[in-house]
Amino acid sequence: MTLPAIPPHAKADILAQALPYIRKFHGKTMVIKYGGNAMTDPTLQRAFAEDVVLLKLVGINPVVVHGGGPQIETALKRLGKEGHFIQGMRVTDAETMEVVEWVLAGEVQQDIVGLINQAGGKAVGLTGRDGAMIRAKKLKMLDQQNPSLEHDVGQVGDIVAIDPSVVKALQDDAFIPVVSPIGFGEENESYNINADVVASRLATTLHAEKLLLLTNIPGVLNKAGQLLPTLTARQIDELVADGTISGGMLPKIAGAIDAAKAGVHAVHIVDGRVPHAMLLEILTDQAYGTMICNH
């Protein structure tokens, strides 16, 4: 994307502002959860791919973890299969799991790999099966009202362990890993795992400098609807307690806090609807989302 009508000295100022950040993050790993509008709008797709390639070129190691809920829903409808959810979690029977695998590891992953390669990078697609990366077990889902009752949501997985050696090998060889959130169990069965959870756990395992979660909202907002540019774990607990953070934001925030507490230096919830928001968040002083710090 070109920068229209910006005078050369202003462009130089922008580049000079980025220099301390490039120096600070050189050689560091950043895990990026890619989803929402950024994943479906062609202009935002190109901007995302360019950002990832630029990060790699300046010596930062991006690792992309992607979702694909809407694409899975479209594929199931095409097959005449109705999606069924319990407490917001997709019930994944054997047939649905097949669809999940070919949509995530086939269609969605390869689209992202192609976009990054087209932008000048060298992306490689992985699932949790590759290099025995994500070991999983069946998720136990307890009823929110009655915790003694357990719901069977099929082949939905809970992460047992992550072996990041295949990701590290690719990074060392100048490749950009693109990970589909699919794990495998003891009997070689496949599991569908929440992409935010995979991104958070992978960031922790890789000792990532940052975890970036691209979303369809500006970030975490206060009760007056204003963006909160920085938050600590303690402040988040207060916002959850008073109901400021609720609904679909809760699991995202829970993963972000876990990653921050486990040593990821900063977690950013970034507005994926803004072109190049990820790059602006990492390489400038301007906030394009909410940063959660590990203290």
Binding residues for substrate: 68-69, 90, 192
Instruction: Enter the DSSP assignment of 180.
Output: E
Q: What are phi and psi of 288, to 5 degrees?
A: -115, 35
Token pair in block for residue 141: 């889902």
**Rounded-to-integer distance, Cα 257 and Cα 261, Å:** 6
- In sequence order, the β-bridge partners of residue 30 are 62, 210
With beta carbons less than 8 A apart as the criterion, state whether 197 and 183 touch.
no
**Rounded-to-integer distance, Cα 116 and Cα 95, Å:** 31
**Rounded-to-integer distance, Cα 253 and Cα 215, Å:** 12
**Rounded-to-integer distance, Cα 213 and Cα 256, Å:** 9
Instruction: Enter the DSSP assignment of 207.
Output: T
Rg (CA), the chain: 19
Beta strand 210-215 with 230-232 is unpaired
Select from 109, 61, 66, 67 the least CA-distant residue to 206. Answer: 61
**Rounded-to-integer distance, Cα 129 and Cα 184, Å:** 6
Token pair in block for residue 15: 């580049």
Binding residues: 68-69, 90, 192
